[in-house]
Chain A
Amino acid sequence: MRRPRRREMRKERAKFIVNGRSYEVIIEPHMLLVDVLREKIGLTGTKYACGTGDCGACTVLVEGKPVLSCLTLAVTARDKNILTIEGLAEGTTLHPIQQAFVDGGAVQCGFCTPGMVLSAKALLEENPKPTRDEIKEGLAGNLCRCTGYVKIVDAVEAAAETMGKGGRS
C-alpha cells in the first residue's frame, strides 16, 4: 500500500509553553523549533548558527533538558515547557548565571551566550557544585569563537557560588 505523493502538508494549531507563557501558533511538521521560536513567537534570543548540531548556539531547555532547537522538529515540542534565554531574567534583574557572565567578561560577541547560559543552567540544576572539569564537560556542546572559554568557565564557577549562597536558581 503506497501513499499518494503529497508535499502539501497539514497545518495545525499548536501550543508551546515558552518561559511559562502559553503561545498558540500554526505550524507544519517540517518546521524546526528554532524557527518557530524566532519567527512565529518572535523570541530571537535563541540563535541559529551552524544548523548541524555542532555549535550549541540554538540550545534551549525542553522540560529542563538542553536540546538543540535547530535539530528539533517543533511538532515534537508541542505542549512542553520550553525555556529560552528570554525566560531567565526577572524584569531587569539578571539571573545569577547571566550576571556572572557580565561581571566576568564571559560575553564578547555574544552570539554563543544564550546557548552557553542555558547549558550552564542545565548543568547547575543537575550538579550545583561542579568542578572546573565538570563545567567544561557540561559546556562541551557549546562553541565560542571569542573568549577561549576560560572566562566562561570562571563565570559558571562564580554563578554556582552565588546560587549556592541562596541566590535564586
Chain B
Amino acid sequence: MHRVLLPFEFFEPKTVEEAVRLLDTANSKVMAGGVDLVLKMRLRLISPETVISLQKISGLDYIESNPAGLILGALTSIRQIELSSLVQKNWAVLYEAVRQIASVQTKTMGTAVGNLCVGTPASDIASPLLVLGAKVKIAGIHYEKVVPIENFFIGVGRTILEPNEIVTEVFVPGVPAGTGSAFLKSAKTADDIAKVNAAVMVTVTDKICKDVRIALGSVAPTPIRATEAEHALKGQRLDETMFARAAEAAAEAVIPISDIRSTAQYRKEMVRVLVKDALVKATGNATA
C-alpha cells in the first residue's frame, strides 16, 4: 500500500465521443466512481500514464424505465440503485444484491457499470444482472453496440472492452409475471467481498418451473450461469427434492479456486447451500 499515487495525466472529457478518443493508449484508464481504480493505483497494481474521468460527462447518472425494462447510465451509483423505489419494486434481485453491499460510502462513490467493467468474478452486481438477462451498451469511436452481459466477461479482471471502448449504459429487461427471485452471498463479514454469491430467478406456473436462471459469483474466472442446475429444473415440479438435485448439479459443475478468502472445497459446498436456499426463497416469492 502506497501513501501517494504516481503522477498521471488527467482528462475530463465532456462527451462520450471525446472520452473514447482519449482512451488511445494501452496505459490509459477510464474512471467512473474511482473506487477500484484509485485503490489499484494505491496498491501499485496499475500505474496508468493517463486517467480519463467520465464524471464531467453530464446526464450519465440516470435510472430510467420504459415498457421494455430498466436503463442504468454509466455514472449511476450503486447507492442510487439501492434508493430507487422503481428497482426495489420491479427488479427485486438487483435491489437485494446492492442492499447487501455494506459500506454507504463505497455505494455512493461506486457505479454499477464501473463494477461490471472491473471484471471481478466476485461482483455482486453481475450475478443479479446475469439472471435478469441484462445487456450492456458499448460505445467506440463512431459506433455503438449492444452485448448480452453473458458475453461481456472473459476472465479475471478482463472484459470484451477494447482500448477505445467504454460501457455507456446497461439495459435490464422487465421481469415476467409469476417470477420470484433471491440473492444470497457468503462472506467473512457483511462488508467483505463474497466467497460465493448466488442469484436466482424462477418463473412458476401451477407449481411447475416454467423458466429459471441461476448465476454464481466467485466460483470461476468470470461470473457464470449454472446451466446444469437450470436444465435440471426446467419443466419440473418445484419441490425440495428438485431443489436439492439442482443445487447438487450446480455444485458438481463449478471448479472454484482456493485463495485468501476461501478454499475450493468450501466454495463448492457453499454453492450447494446457497443455490438450494436461493431456490427455496425465490420460489416462495414467486408464488407469494
Contacts of B7 in A (CB 8 A): 7-9, 28-30
Interface residues of B in 41-57 (CB under 8 A from A): 42-43, 49-51, 53, 55
Binary CB contact string for chain B from 1 to 41 against chain A (1 if under 8 A, 0 otherwise): 10111111110000000000000110000010011001100
Q: Are B49 and A141 in touch, CB under 8 angstroms?
A: no
The CA of A137 and the CA of B7, in the complex, are separated in Å by 36
The CA of A71 and the CA of B55, in the complex, are separated in Å by 15
A145 at interface by CB-CB < 8 Å: no
The CA of A66 and the CA of B105, in the complex, are separated in Å by 5
B160 at interface by CB-CB < 8 Å: no
A52 at interface by CB-CB < 8 Å: yes
Contacts of B102 in A (CB 8 A): 137, 140-141
Q: Are A7 and B6 in touch, CB under 8 angstroms?
A: yes
Binary CB contact string for chain A from 1 to 35 against chain B (1 if under 8 A, 0 otherwise): 11101111110000000000000000011111001
B162 at interface by CB-CB < 8 Å: no
Contacts of B53 in A (CB 8 A): 73, 76
Q: Choose from B25, B34, B51, B191 the contact partner of A72 (Cβ within 8 Å).
A: B34
A151 at interface by CB-CB < 8 Å: no
Contacts of B79 in A (CB 8 A): 65
Binary CB contact string for chain B from 97 to 110 against chain A (1 if under 8 A, 0 otherwise): 00000111110110
A114 at interface by CB-CB < 8 Å: no
Q: Are B109 and A140 in touch, CB under 8 angstroms?
A: no
The CA of A7 and the CA of B24, in the complex, are separated in Å by 18
B190 at interface by CB-CB < 8 Å: yes
Contacts of A123 in B (CB 8 A): 104
The CA of A37 and the CA of B35, in the complex, are separated in Å by 19
Kindly provide the distance from the CB of A119 to the nearest chain B CB, expressed in whole angstroms. 7
If over half of A's interface residues share one DSSP class (helix, strand or loop), that class is named, otherwise mixed; here it is loop
Binary CB contact string for chain B from 209 to 242 against chain A (1 if under 8 A, 0 otherwise): 0000000000000000000000000000000000
Interface residues of A in 109-138 (CB under 8 A from B): 119, 122-123, 137-138
The CA of A2 and the CA of B49, in the complex, are separated in Å by 11
Q: Choose from A1, A35, A53, A59 the contact partner of B39 (Cβ within 8 Å).
A: A53
The CA of A9 and the CA of B8, in the complex, are separated in Å by 6
- Chain B: interface residue count, which band? 20 to 34
Q: Are A56 and B38 in touch, CB under 8 angstroms?
A: no
Which of A2, A53, A56, A72 has the most C-beta atoms of chain B within 10 angstroms of its own C-beta? A53
A43 at interface by CB-CB < 8 Å: no
A163 at interface by CB-CB < 8 Å: no
Contacts of A66 in B (CB 8 A): 104-105, 108
The CA of A24 and the CA of B109, in the complex, are separated in Å by 24
Q: Choose from A5, A7, A76, A140 the contact partner of B191 (Cβ within 8 Å).
A: A140
Contacts of B35 in A (CB 8 A): 53, 68, 71
Which of B39, B42, B105 has the most C-beta atoms of chain A within 10 angstroms of its own C-beta? B105
Contacts of A54 in B (CB 8 A): 191
Binary CB contact string for chain A from 47 to 85 against chain B (1 if under 8 A, 0 otherwise): 000011110100100000111101111011000000000
Contacts of A138 in B (CB 8 A): 104
Q: Whose C-beta in chain B lies nearest to the C-beta of A60? A: B105
- Contacts A122-B104, A138-B104 given; does A30 touch B5 at CB 8 Å: yes
Q: Whose C-beta in chain B lies nearest to the C-beta of A12? A: B10
Q: Are B55 and A76 in touch, CB under 8 angstroms?
A: yes
Kindly provide the distance from the CB of B251 to the nearest chain A CB, expressed in whole angstroms. 30
Q: Are B105 and A32 in touch, CB under 8 angstroms?
A: no
Q: Whose C-beta in chain B lies nearest to the C-beta of A122? A: B104
Q: Are A53 and B6 in touch, CB under 8 angstroms?
A: no
Q: Are A52 and B39 in touch, CB under 8 angstroms?
A: yes
Q: Choose from A10, A56, A76 the contact partner of B34 (Cβ within 8 Å).
A: A76
Can you list 15 A-B pairs with a CB-CB distance of less than 8 A? A2-B25, A3-B50, A7-B49, A29-B7, A30-B4, A32-B5, A52-B39, A53-B103, A53-B105, A54-B191, A68-B106, A71-B109, A73-B31, A76-B55, A138-B104
Closest 7 CB pairs of A and B: A141-B103, A29-B10, A140-B102, A30-B5, A9-B7, A141-B105, A71-B38
Contacts A3-B24, A71-B38 given; 5 further ones with Cβ under 8 A? Answer: A3-B49, A53-B106, A71-B35, A140-B103, A141-B102
